[in-house]
Amino acid sequence: MRTTFFSVLTAAAEANPDLVLITGDLGFGVVEPFVAAVPGQFINAGVAEQNMTGMAAGIALAGGKVFTYSIANFPTLRCLEQIRNDVAYHQADVTVVAVGGGLAYGALGMSHHATEDLAIMRSIPGMAVAAPGDPVETEAVMADLLRHGGPAYLRLGKAGEATIHDEMPEMSRGQLVHMRAGTDVCILSTGGILPVARDAADLLADSGVSASLVSVPWLSPLDEEGLRRLALQHELLVTVEEHSVNGGLGGAVAEVASGIGGAPLLRLGLPHRFSSVVGDQEFLRAAHGLTPAGVAERVLQRLRDLAALS
């Protein structure tokens, strides 16, 4: 995802001299091609994310299109007041980009675990929030951000994520991406955990459960009418995310589904607590049951529980 982001951003900057990238003194291995292509459109703000965000808002309000970039929680939580007051309140064309969403920087500990960001950013009025599921979705989301602008938050993985889509999905801001149709269960996934959701749907099919698979690259705005239809068409809705079960995709879907009376909701994600466990991303996903087998087993158990109640 990170590679796709910089490829699209560099091409856009070459075509638009008002596009500016600001970083917080990191990412130089991937930033260097951008700097080489458009050196006058890059700023290193130093380890001063509040200044980075305030500077971005000022440039945007003077007519620029600005992307801020850093890892995990640094471009979001460290400068949340500036995002809220300077960027969102003034509707500035700033896109905040966080690389390493979820547990991608898991070995560095909880300071680098981006596990509350989606909940926090989608609660800010006027902020578009995107978490694409693979490099193809990243390209589609970037096309929208370049066309329609911010305020926005873009949550990326790191690099080397699997490409799930064979071709660019037709996607407008807020739209759900329907990948597979089923009748029993609908699995909704956001962000880089999409391959896990896909493989879990395959395991459910092997167990005789027909599962729809829907990617949710946009959490705000969210296709509420599309979610209502899915809730009425399936026996169970399941959200899968590398984020706290509170306030992210599961929370967003729960807000919509609460007044429908359709399918019950199973939220699968990270527990609402800080993790003292460290390890790479795959290790930490497995520790929290966010593997294809773990997801499939919890879905099957919920279906068994529902059947016992009927």
- CATH number of the structural domain spanning residue 99: 3.40.50.970
Q: Are residues 16 and 135 in the same domain?
A: yes
How many domains are contained in the chain? 2
Would you call 286 helix, strand, or coil by DSSP? Answer: helix
Are 6 and 151 part of one and the same domain? yes
If asked whether residues 10 and 92 sit together in one domain, one would say: yes
pLDDT reported for residue 296: 98
- Rg of the chain over CA atoms, in angstroms? 19
Domain that holds residue 182: 177-309
Kindly report the number of other CB atoms within 10 A of residue 95's CB atom.
Answer: 25
Least confidently predicted of 38-52, 86-100, 170-184, 207-221? 170-184
Domain end call among 90, 123, 156: 156
- Out of 164-168, 191-195, 203-207, pick the least confident: 164-168
Residue 161 lies in a domain: no
Q: Is the pLDDT of residue 270 over 90?
A: yes
Q: Does residue 169 sit within a domain?
A: no
pLDDT at 166: 83
236, pLDDT greater than 90:
yes
Cα(193)–Cα(288) distance, integer angstroms = 13
| d(C-alpha 289, C-alpha 300), whole Å | 14
Q: Is residue 170 part of a domain?
A: no
Please tell me whether residues 83 and 202 are part of one structural domain.
Answer: no
Q: Is the pLDDT of residue 290 over 90?
A: yes
Task: Looking at the structure, tell me whether residues 83 and 128 fall in a common domain.
Answer: yes
pLDDT digits (tens, 9 = 90+) for 36-49: 999 999 999 999 99
Q: Which residue has the higher pLDDT, 224 or 310?
A: 224
Query: Do 137 and 184 have their domain in common?
Result: no
Same domain? For 181 and 128 the reply is no
Torsion of CA 145, 148, 151, 152, to 10 degrees: -30
Any domain includes 168: no
Is the pLDDT score of 92 beyond 90? yes
pLDDT for position 276: 84
Are residues 147 and 185 part of one domain? no
Q: What is the mean pLDDT of residues 231-241?
A: 95
Q: Check if the beta carbon of residue 300 is closer than 8 Å to that of residue 207.
A: yes
Residue pair 235/306 in contact (Cβ under 8 Å)? The answer is yes
Residue with tokens 């589609």, as numbered in its chain: 140
Encoded tokens for 120: 């926090």
Structure-block tokens of residue 269:
């994600």
Residue 301, number of CB atoms within 10 A of its CB: 11
pTM for the model: 0.95
Q: Is residue 171 part of a domain?
A: no
